[in-house]
Chain A
């Protein structure tokens, strides 16, 4: 099962530009998490935002959460070639498995 959609499905930008990815979900959640996955590799946990939080920062990452719209966004500022990867949001509905969105493939060219 999947919670919802992420958009865009693919994003290509130049180094130094900002990248914004959006995630929508369908049910109430405890928290929402963002993960990165390099091609053919495992998941890297980026950031977690709880349902009572609206915005969170971690380094070059900024995550927002709008529970009324059931949506979240991930902003990566000053992107680097090393940020090239797939990014997934995942929702935690309390006690159950994380449910992943479809993901955004980010390509950063130098």
Chain B
């Protein structure tokens, strides 16, 4: 079945640095990628939607200059957390839809800890 590989699975970074999270669709073309954030003991909150070759659409309250999303190819989307702060510590997870628009495939998530 469809697989989305998300890396890294865990990352610890210092305040003020940037962290890049990658999601790759391994056996299908991900025309649309969704990025979610999940704080401890909470649900997944949609951060942004990106379509290949287009600018991402951010949900209300999500800073687009802080969370940079690149979806330059049909198999790779990246989320860069810029100038990370401890409050950015969270679980980030991507989800991809293919050309046919059927089904959502989730990555395994990235646990970001900012110290």
A85 at the B interface (CB under 8 A): no
Which residues in chain A, 56-110, are within 8 Å of chain B measured between CB atoms?
A: 88, 92, 95-103, 105
With A97-B34, A97-B95: A2-B43 Cβ-Cβ less than 8 Å: yes
Cβ contact within 8 Å between A41 and B43: no
Instruction: Determine the residue in chain B with the shortest Cβ distance to A98.
Output: B104
With A1-B59, A2-B45, A88-B43: A42-B95 Cβ-Cβ less than 8 Å: no
Docked complex Cα distance between A96 and B104 (Å): 10
Cβ contact within 8 Å between B43 and A42: no
Interface size class for chain B? 20 to 34
Question: Chain A at the B interface: mostly helix, strand, loop or mixed?
Answer: loop
B68 at the A interface (CB under 8 A): no
Which residues in chain B, 85-115, are within 8 Å of chain A measured between CB atoms?
A: 91, 93, 95, 101, 104, 106-109, 111
9 nearest CB pairs, A to B: A42-B108, A97-B34, A100-B44, A42-B109, A102-B43, A100-B43, A43-B106, A97-B46, A103-B43
Q: List 9 A-B contacts (CB under 8 A).
A: A1-B45, A41-B108, A43-B44, A95-B101, A97-B95, A99-B46, A101-B43, A102-B43, A105-B41
Interface contacts beyond A1-B59, A45-B106, A95-B101: sample of 20 additional A-B pairs, CB < 8 Å, sorted by A? A1-B45, A1-B46, A1-B60, A2-B45, A41-B109, A42-B93, A43-B93, A43-B106, A97-B34, A97-B46, A97-B49, A98-B34, A98-B104, A100-B44, A100-B45, A101-B43, A102-B42, A102-B43, A103-B43, A105-B41
